[in-house]
Amino acid sequence: MVETAWMVTGARSDEVIVTAPGAVTVDEGVRRLDDALAGFAGPVPGWYGAISRLGRWWYLVCALVAVPVTIVLVGGVTVRAVLYGLVATYGLALVSGLVMLRTAVSQSRRPDGLGRDQTVAEVAHVARPMVMQHAVRAVLEQDPAREQEVHELAWRVAGSHDADGMAALRELIALWRVVDPEAAAAEAARWDDAEGADEADERTVARDH
């Protein structure tokens, strides 16, 4: 898989983020966007940040709770008790992780009271949620020399669905057609359908007003 410095997978959201061409200081923007894409409107609560840093070690914490309790409930240290304890560990980790995430998201607030969309807008000059990463990776795998050109196109495509963004999308798909014609054609058709639906909606709104 192609890896570039300007294509970052968010540690919290697991979403792919593209950074601005030529930008030097992007870490803060990427972090804020990553948090916003994960659902946090403002700063991540400190307690959740500390637990998140445990990573897979959280399963060990859950095991230290679930296994002894299961052994007591089963009535002794047996193979069955240990197996039940491991199953309970997995369930406890999943449920507790989900509950803690929802609690942390609900506690996350911006000082101005606005939502995460505002954060996404504020960092859009340095970091944006990436679109068409499969096309970008496909082109770069076949032609690494086009990295600068592809970076510029990826940044513009991620900006919006305005004329410039759509023009960049068509250029990117044209490059993609060279390395994977069928996939590129299918994606182009999908975007054309979406663009046609948007234009129909605009005509309807204009007629109604």
pLDDT value at residue 205: 37
Strand order in the sheet with 127-129: 7-9, 16-19, 127-129
Q: What is the pLDDT of residue 194?
A: 57
The answer to whether the beta carbons of residues 172 and 150 sit under 8 Å apart is: yes
Q: What is the pLDDT of residue 57?
A: 87
The answer to whether the CB of 94 falls within 8 A of the CB of 59 is no
pLDDT value, residue 200: 45
User: Considering Cα of 26, then 30, then 36, then 41, what sign does the dihedral take?
Assistant: negative
Residues 63, 85 contacting (CB under 8 angstroms): yes
The confidence score (pLDDT) of residue 179 equals 83
CA distance 23 to 95: 40
- The residues, ordered by sequence, that sit 6+ positions from 61 with a Cβ below 8 Å of its Cβ are 54
pLDDT < 70 positions in the chain: 1-3, 191-209
| 18 neighbors 155 (Cβ within 8 angstroms) | yes
pLDDT of residue 53: 86
Q: What is the pLDDT of residue 150?
A: 94
